[in-house]
Structure 1
Amino acid sequence: MISNTFKVIVGLIACFTCMVYVQSCKKDIFLVTIPNNMQFKEKLSDYQIFQGTPSDLIPEATFKVYELSTALFTDYAEKQRLIKLPGGTKLTPTGDGLPNFPDGTILVKTFYYYKDKQNHLLGKKIIETRLLIKEQDKWNVATYKWDNEQNDAVLITAGATENVSWVDEHGISKTVNYHIPSNTECNTCHQSAEISMPIGFKLHNLNREVTRSGTPINQLTHLQREGIFGNINPTSFSRLPNWENTSHTLEERARAYLDVNCAHCHNDQGVCKRLVLRPAYEIPFNKTFLENYKKSIVIQLENKRMPKLGTTIKHSEGIALLKAYLATL
């Protein structure tokens, strides 16, 4: 029996019957369970994240908004990202990746859909809010499902499904059976060497221009002024391209997309560590194995949904980008 290998079976003879056992890697085989070391509150409102009408998603002053240059695809959902640090603390950069976070850090991500992306005044439907809280040097995960009245969200651990309909930016009506992940599913993507970690809050993905109070400003500079970072020089860090910005090369855009949507699993410490692909943006091209496996990747894009967790539908725009890029290799 051959298992846990990428070797090719050779020496088979035509018209000779062989019995081959294929071990599947579908469904729950890769799920990772990492217990929390803290008790989460039953209601999202207990964390006092939002002020005023909860569905307006206006953060309290201690929760700071941040944006990413390239974001993970999640069934076309909109996302609001917030960070809160304990009083008297700041983040310490360690390079282009994740900074050092103090105990007590809270990362908040809320998922919602505008009822009509052409007219935001028609309102939105908030689906879930995910929390990452660091306690005793360990990241803990929790998911809160918003109620139908959009007044609050309750803690869930086993996941849930929510049917959502909306009109996209082109005026096309769409629907999705949105899947709210379980704790185990959250940990599976967020784990590195079986330790939960943030994914998106990396310096190179934060190093971008944003608009605050009507004025463009580098986001790292803004977060410094907001007390999240100490003295920080944005030019000391690289910038991850925005995959949707066509002023970047096709390779830059595709590599950025792969970095955010694939590299958190496809790395030496991730859940797909046994697979050879290493698509992180900082990895030299000749060590990514993208060219070696481009045909296999295209087949996966056309016939399967990736990433497997966190999505229920294919990202047609992302697939088109990757296929165009792979065709150049």
Structure 2
Amino acid sequence: MIKRLRKIAILAALSAIFFSCSDDNDPANPDPDPPIAMDDDYIPIPESPVVLDMDAFPFNTLSEYSFFEGNMKEQNPVLGVIPYEPISTLFTDYAKKKRFIWMPSDVQATYAADTEVIDMPVGTFLIKTFYYTNVQPNNDTRIIETRLMLKKADDWYFADYIWNDEQTEATFSLSGSFTNVEFLENGEMKSANYRIPSEVECFTCHKSGTSSVPIGLKPQNLNSMYDFADGTENQLQNLIDEGYLEDNLPTTINTVVKWSDDTQPIEMRVRSYIDINCAHCHQELSHCDYRPMRFAFDESADPTNLGICVDPDESIPEMTKIVAPAQSESSVLYFRINTEAEEFRMPLLGRTIIHEEAVQMIGQWIDGLTTECDSEGGGDGED
């Protein structure tokens, strides 16, 4: 909105200048360049109130950035702070999330590929708030943390802000901690010892070699409609309209599906789920790149990258394959997502309880596979 308003203001100012000028050859106008008076029609160019200070980052409190207007816990973004939501979202102990992006004026992000994080300019903030509704015993809403990533010239940098009990302010900390949350999810009581990450844990999930990268800001994850405050629009097109993204997208984008949408093919749902939840570790130069699976959406069409008929690289009793077709109970993938044991669970970070709906979906997918594994641990992946 902010850059769109700037364009409108500039056009309005230029129009006022053009129509106020008379013919330079008119003898009644001996001064060809009269001064322009700022009258009642003057339209100031709007500026975002967000505070960007590279040297002072991270601030001690969240409010110092001025990302939100009014009561901060309502998370109403100020001018220039744009909400977004990946098509399939990462599971964090059933926490709900609000995500925003902000950029300085006169810079743009650029498209690299459907499967690659959009190339963000220096000064970009990514803002993500984690919260629960129906928190017991009073069915309250409780915000736990707001995580920031700031793009500097050499890398992305992290900051995390922990909300106080009064829900009036959040204070910087990257030391890591736990907090217990009891809440209702679809009418069922759940309890999580929610993990607030340390700086090392942030880097573990966002690692690419020695650098840090965002996870969900890829065209494949954002090519969807979103209900913005001023109307429903495709998220990528909205970023273009706001001036945040260069208008150079391809005509078609290979796009994930919403994993919880049971009208979609189950293989696409599974691939979309493990892309957002697992691929950031199971890829080259990332934390689990020594594992044989490659879970990125553009790689998981290959059944071997999904682990189908692939021998596990460590021995777990009664587990015969990473994905054993028609045998979810013998599949390492199913076992790891269906346990809370820290030494076995996957993802290792970001969850302490089981994502029951995803376990059911992945179990259904595995049990529906009809591939016959050969004796060498490979298969054609047909189902």
Shorter chain as normaliser: what TM range? 0.7 to 0.9
Q: Which residue of 2 aligns with 1:276?
A: 292
1:125-151 deviation line (CA, Å, top 9, x unaligned): 000010100112310011110011111
* Partners of 2:117 and 2:218 within 8 A in 1: yes
Is 1:223 paired with 2:239?
A: yes
Which of 86, 90, 98 is matched with 2:108 structurally?
90
- Percent of aligned pairs sharing the same letter: 35
CA deviation after TM superposition for structure 1 residue 104, in Å? 0.5
Letter in 2 for 1:81: R
Does 1:181 find its partner at 2:197? yes
Structure 1: which amino acid aligns with 2:338? E
Partner of residue 101, structure 1: 120
Distance of 1:238 and 1:183 partners within structure 2: 33
How far has the Cα of 1:306 moved from its partner? 1.8
SS of structure 1 residue aligned to 2:364:
helix
Pick aligned residue for 1:48 from 66, 76, 89: 66
Specify the SS of the correspondent of 1:46: helix
Counterparts of 1:152 and 1:213, CA distance in 2: 25
* 2:217 pairs with one of 201, 212, 226: 201
Within 5 Å, which residues of 2 pair with 1:57-76?
A: 57-76=75-94
In the alignment, structure 2 segments of 5+ residues that lack a partner are 1-53, 311-321, 324-330, 370-383
RMSD over aligned Cα, in angstroms? Answer: 2.1
Q: Encode CA deviations 1:301-324: one digit per residue, 9 max, x unaligned.
A: 334432111111111111111121
Q: Which moved more, 1:153-162 or 1:181-190?
A: 153-162
Structure 2 CA distance for aligned equivalents of residues 323 and 109 of structure 1: 30
C-alpha contact 1:91 1:230 (8 A) present in aligned 2: yes
- Asked if structure 2 preserves the Cα contact closer than 8 Å seen for 1:65 and 1:82, the reply is yes
Q: How far did residue 175 of structure 1 move?
A: 2.0
Preserved CA contact (<8 Å) 2:338 2:354:
no
* One-letter amino acid of the counterpart of residue 301, structure 1: I
Post-superposition shift, 1:234?
A: 6.8
Question: Does residue 1:79 correspond to 2:97, yes or no?
Answer: yes
CA distance in structure 1 between the aligned counterparts of 2:158 and 2:289, rounded to whole angstroms: 22
**Is 1:299 the equivalent of 2:335?**
yes
Q: Is the 8 A contact 1:37 1:135 kept in 2?
A: no
Amino acid at match of 1:162: T
Q: Tell me what 1:11 maps to.
A: none
Shift of 1:40: 1.0
Instruction: Give the counterpart letter for 2:293 in structure 1.
Output: L
- Secondary structure (helix, strand or coil) at the match of 1:299 reads helix
Structure 1, unaligned stretches of length 5 or more?
Answer: 1-35
Q: Which residue of 2 aligns with 1:248?
A: 264
Do the aligned partners of 1:190 and 1:198 also contact (CA within 8 Å) in 2? yes
| Mapped contact 2:102–2:124 kept (Cα < 8 A) | yes
Give runs of aligned pairs for residues 8-23 of structure 1, distance below 5 A.
Answer: none
Q: Secondary structure at the match of 2:338?
A: helix
- Corresponding position: 1:112 with 2:131: yes
Count of aligned residue pairs for this structure pair: 290
**Which residue does 1:316 correspond to in 2?**
356
Contact 1:66 1:81 in 2 (8 A): yes
Larger radius of gyration: 2
